[in-house]
Amino acid sequence: MSADHHRNAELQARVNRLLDVAEARGVITRAGVDQRIEAFSDRVTARNGAEMIVRAWNSPEYRERLLADAGAAAAELGHVGGGFSSDIRLHAVANSAEVHNVIVCTLCSCYPVAWLGPPPAWYKSEAYRSRVVRDPRGVLAEFGLVVPDSTEVRVWDASAEARYIVVPERPEGAEALSEAEQVALVTRDCLIGTALPTVPARVREVT
């Protein structure tokens, strides 16, 4: 049994004891906790961020608002930063032919959960947090994303006051897709900056 597994088991045991005490005192019910967790999981996904990106692809006016105040633009679509302090601002950084953006949190693992869903394990790892700052091109290449030498790579470091979301460029052929189909192209990794949205070959062939 690994040390991580042992620590996780200990943590879960502590959580269970706290839940038992809270339920015994009538503060909560296990069913109520489960319902809230399920509701949170359904509401907090990378689709929230993807919908913002696709709206920006198709509406220059919304794109301007997104880049000026991403939090307010998110709220327009009903994607509020649940649980976030009002002091935390969401910033949108846009990719272009000249610039590619990628986000990280070098101190801990600050991450825009409300708009990207739960963070992947690698985002929280020491390897990613330290290396992407020193060698962003090398790290991105390990994700299968080779950034041309002519394109500047900017690394945005999240903090207690700021969160970031990457606005990838709309891939060629995406304009022929419905909005729902475009949303499906924008993955969590696209919003972090470690991947790019791609249109299936069959769609490109038709267009």
Domains of the chain by start residue, with CATH: 3-42 (no CATH), 45-206 (3.90.330.10)
Number of CB atoms found within 10 A of residue 146's CB: 9
pLDDT score for 83 = 46
How many percent of the chain have pLDDT more than 70? 81
Q: Is the pLDDT of residue 197 over 90?
A: yes
Asked if 109 is an active-site residue, the reply is: yes
Catalytic residue among 41, 96, 108, 125: 108
Instruction: Tell me the pTM.
Output: 0.78
Average model confidence (pLDDT) across the chain: 86
Asked if 108 is an active-site residue, the reply is: yes
Catalytic residue among 105, 125, 130, 190: 105
16-38 pLDDT tens trace: 787 678 778 887 776 765 555 45
Task: Read off the amino acid at residue 4.
Answer: D
